[in-house]
Every structure is written in structure tokens, then in C-alpha cells.
Chains A and B, each alone.
Chain A
């Protein structure tokens, strides 16, 4: 008898068991939803949100840093370019100034040289003229002493004059 009863025992469905299972399960479900799953899922969701936003902000910051780095790089390149330009410009100016200075100096020197030459020429001509006058005077005195009163003045004057002219011709390139 027992075997038969027991054999059917696991197909037996106890209505009481069904009701108790419902009660147990529903109570467990409600309690776990409130105490366990709710807070757990909320904290997981918050964490997931945190992670996503952390990744986003990291990406954003990285992009910003890269942008800044690019800006820095271009600024440095620009500064370098400007410095090089400045140096080149300064050099050109210096060169120009040097040339100007040189030109000016050369011109001054030339001027001085010309001035000196002119003065020399003038002095020479004056000296020649002086010497000529002196020579005329000397010749006249000499002639006076030589010929005394025998010759009249006008004739002597003319002769002396002629003499002086001849004299100046005989000394070329005075």
C-alpha cells in the first residue's frame, strides 16, 4: 500500500502549498524590491551614470587640452617667426645704416680732398702771381740801377713788361 501512496505523492498537488508559495514568494518579492533590488539597482545606475559622465568629461578635457596644446604650439611658432623676422629686419637696418655711414664718410673725405686741392691751386696761383709781381719789381729795380737815367721811363716800362711776359712763357706749367 505504501509504495503506491508514495509513488503518487510527488504528483500530488496541495492547494495549501500553492497558497503558501504565493504568500512566501510575494512577500519575498515585495521585501526584496524595497530593501534589496531597489537600492542596489539605483546605486548601480548612479554608478553607471558616473562612469559615463567621467568618461565624457575626460574626453572633453582631453580635447580641450589638445586644443590648448595646439594653440600653444602655434603661438610658439608664431613668436619664433616674429623673432626671426625681427632679427632679419634689424640686420637689414644695420647694414643699411652701415652703408649710409660709409657713404657719408667717403663723401666727406672726397669733399675734404677737393677742398684741399682747390685751396692748394688757389695758393699756388696766388704764389705765382706774387712771384710774378715780385719779379717785375725786382727786374725794374735791377734795370733802373743798370741803365740809370739814360732811358726814358716809358720805353723802359714797355721793355720790362715784354721781358716779364717772356719770362712767364719760359716757365711752363706754373
Chain B
């Protein structure tokens, strides 16, 4: 019986997200005339997964006003964090060829739109949730044994990060030093991922900017670990590898590229996984409106199954992101030990 209720809850939850979009059919349309259902659905889906300056909490039958999060920090170009270094840079549209990365080109042209967006707001909500869960999980007895569900979950995950991610990849000595950072990455990504799975909320990790920022932090941490462990000389030396002199320039090219491809793979993996899961979920459900209402027989169970998969993927991607971060840090740390072993240095 409990399982049936859980399933019903999931159905209800999915419908909460999907229903307003397709049923209320275009509150926000700006009178462009009738559209076909297919393009309307895809527009809604893309709107839902893309970062925006406003946040709409979608509910069936109820149309809540959008939270114009960015407007709190500056309504017009030139106000607050909406910095316009060149007059008119923000109102001037970017060229067609630059549209895919429009904001970067606008930034380069002098339009520094630094206002928080939907993604930032959902990260904040996620962090508030994480803080709340950690607060609930603060109970321990006098021996330090966690008391209650949240305390046990938090400690199990934290110890998993410490033992299976940090110590396993960085080593017994250096591993615990990086555990707070890795735990932060893990809990941050996991919470943001899970918040995105709550109907009505937004997946910040499905936005390129967020994953870029996270992997830049990882990149910096990785290089710092290498520098700290091997020293500047050892760090530069490893870029040329243990190869004959005539191969050194080629090796440098490979190693230097490798520095960036590793975090790049990291950011694309997280972004693509979080985005694709949500989009597929929506596309399958949109069949109900695009094809026929009878498609619900297939698409609702399928979407429910996918939602379950997404619940797993949210945890898995947080794990993979943290694991690879730990792996790269471990490589950096190993660099130093290798170097020292060769030199018979005192440490």
C-alpha cells in the first residue's frame, strides 16, 4: 500500500511540473499568433531547462507571479550589478554567429550583467536546504554516535567521501586534508541535483555556467595540490614528462592540453547528464499533448521510470564529479611523492 502511494505521489509530482505548461498554454506568449503544439512544447521545455533572469514556480491551475530575481540587483543596464561599461552594449543584440555564447560576447563588448539568475536562486535554495538537513542531523550522543535519520545519512555520506573517495584516491596521509573540500563538492552538487528533481524547481547543475565554475574550482585545487606537493620546479618538470629531450616539446603540448581536458570533461559530463535527463523526461511527457492524450498510457509510466533513474543519476553524478576531482588531486599529490622519491629529499 505504501508503495502505491509513493507511485501516486510521483505521478502527481510529475504532473505538477508538466500540467501548467501544456494546459495553461502560453500565459507568457507575446501574441505571436497560433502555434502548433510541438513547437509550443519544445519552447516550454527549453525555457524550463535554461537559465533565466526570472524564476517561475509552476503549479497546475494556479499562475504564481514570476520571481524576477535579477531585478532585485538592477532593473536597467547601468543599475546595481547590471553594469554597462560601454554605453548601449547591453541593448545591442549580438551577431548571429555569436548567438550560441551570446552572454560571453556581450560581456566582452562591455555589458557586465552580474545579476543573480534562476540558477543562482536555486543554488541558494539548495544550500538553504542542505543547511537545514545538516542542522537536523546535528544530534549525537556523548560518544559522538549520530542520533536519528539525518545525522546517520550525513555521516554515512561524509565517511563515504572520506574513505572511498578521498583516502582511496589521494592516500591515507593527504586524503583527510582534502576531505572537507571534496565533501563540500559532493554535497553541493548532490543537493543542487536533487533540488532540480523536485517538481517546480530548477536544476542549476544543468546550466553550463555552473558546471564551468565548479570545474574551474576543481582545476585550481588540482594544480594547487600538484604545486604544493611537487614544488614549482617539480610541477613544471612534470609537464615535460619522463621522455627524451627531443620529445619534450611534444610532451609539453600533450600534458598542457591534458590539464584542461580533464576538468573540461568533468564540466561537460555533469552539465549534459543533468540537462539531458530533464529534457528527455519532459519530451516523453509532452507526447501526451503533441501526439494524443492516449500517449499518457505509455509516457507517464516511462517518465516515472525515468524519474527514478534521475534520482539515481543525481547521486551518481555528484559521486563521479567528486571522484574525478579526488583522482586529479591524487595525481597532483602523487606527483610530489614521485619527485621526492627520485631526489631522495628529506621529506
A interface list, Cβ under 8 A from B: 2-22, 24-26, 28-29, 32-33, 35-38, 40-41, 43-44, 46-47, 50
CA distance A23 to B136 in the complex (A): 25
Per-residue interface assignment for chain B, residues 197 to 223, with 1 indicating a CB less than 8 Å from any chain A CB and 0 otherwise: 000000010111110111011000000
Q: Identify 25 residue pairs between A and B in the complex whose beta-carbon atoms are under 8 Å apart, listed by A's number.
A: A6-B43, A6-B46, A6-B47, A9-B47, A10-B46, A10-B50, A15-B103, A15-B114, A15-B209, A16-B103, A16-B115, A17-B117, A17-B207, A17-B209, A18-B212, A20-B114, A21-B123, A25-B217, A29-B188, A32-B134, A32-B184, A36-B134, A44-B144, A44-B159, A47-B144
A8→B184 contact, CB < 8 A: no
B123→A37 contact, CB < 8 A: no
CA distance A125 to B120 in the complex (A): 152
Among B43, B99, B180, B209, the residue within 8 A (CB) of A21 is B209
CA distance A20 to B120 in the complex (A): 7
> In the complex, which residue of chain A has the Cβ closest to the Cβ of B52?
A9
CA distance A18 to B81 in the complex (A): 14
Q: Closest CB of chain A to B60's CB: distance in Å?
A: 23
Provide the residues of chain B in CB contact with A25, threshold 8 Å: 184, 188, 213-214, 217
Closest 7 CB pairs of A and B: A21-B213, A17-B209, A9-B50, A43-B144, A29-B184, A6-B46, A16-B114
Q: Closest CB of chain B to A70's CB: distance in Å?
A: 34
Q: Closest CB of chain B to A83's CB: distance in Å?
A: 51
CA distance A91 to B184 in the complex (A): 86
CA distance A24 to B189 in the complex (A): 12
Tell me if B101 counts as interface (CB < 8 A to partner A): yes
A13→B103 contact, CB < 8 A: yes
CA distance A28 to B184 in the complex (A): 7
Provide the residues of chain B in CB contact with A8, threshold 8 Å: 99-100, 102
Tell me if B304 counts as interface (CB < 8 A to partner A): no
Q: A15-B112, A17-B117, A24-B127 are in contact. Are A37 and B99 (CB under 8 A)?
A: no
A2→B43 contact, CB < 8 A: yes
CA distance A22 to B209 in the complex (A): 10
Provide the residues of chain A in CB contact with B185, threshold 8 Å: 29
CA distance A10 to B100 in the complex (A): 8
Task: Give the interface size class of chain B.
Answer: 35 or more
Provide the residues of chain A in CB contact with B107, threshold 8 Å: 15
A21→B208 contact, CB < 8 A: no
Tell me if B119 counts as interface (CB < 8 A to partner A): yes
Provide the residues of chain A in CB contact with B159, threshold 8 Å: 44
B184→A17 contact, CB < 8 A: no
Provide the residues of chain A in CB contact with B116, threshold 8 Å: 16, 20
CA distance A19 to B116 in the complex (A): 9
Provide the residues of chain A in CB contact with B50, threshold 8 Å: 6, 9-10, 12
A41→B101 contact, CB < 8 A: no
Provide the residues of chain A in CB contact with B303, threshold 8 Å: none
Q: A16-B113, A25-B214, A32-B180 are in contact. Are A11 and B134 (CB under 8 A)?
A: no
A10→B184 contact, CB < 8 A: no
Tell me if B42 counts as interface (CB < 8 A to partner A): yes
> In the complex, which residue of chain B has the Cβ closest to the Cβ of A24?
B123
Provide the residues of chain B in CB contact with A19, threshold 8 Å: 114, 213
Among A5, A21, A40, the residue within 8 A (CB) of B154 is A40
> In the complex, which residue of chain A has the Cβ closest to the Cβ of B107?
A15
> In the complex, which residue of chain A has the Cβ closest to the Cβ of B206?
A10
Provide the residues of chain A in CB contact with B51, threshold 8 Å: 9-10, 12, 14, 17
Q: A3-B42, A25-B217 are in contact. Are A37 and B115 (CB under 8 A)?
A: no
B213→A10 contact, CB < 8 A: no
A16→B112 contact, CB < 8 A: yes
Tell me if B187 counts as interface (CB < 8 A to partner A): yes
Tell me if B155 counts as interface (CB < 8 A to partner A): yes
B46→A7 contact, CB < 8 A: yes
CA distance A4 to B96 in the complex (A): 10
B49→A10 contact, CB < 8 A: yes
> In the complex, which residue of chain B has the Cβ closest to the Cβ of A28?
B127
Q: Closest CB of chain B to A3's CB: distance in Å?
A: 6
Among B43, B100, B162, B183, the residue within 8 A (CB) of A32 is B183
Q: Closest CB of chain B to A26's CB: distance in Å?
A: 8
Per-residue interface assignment for chain B, residues 163 to 205, with 1 indicating a CB less than 8 Å from any chain A CB and 0 otherwise: 0000000000000100111011101100000000000000010
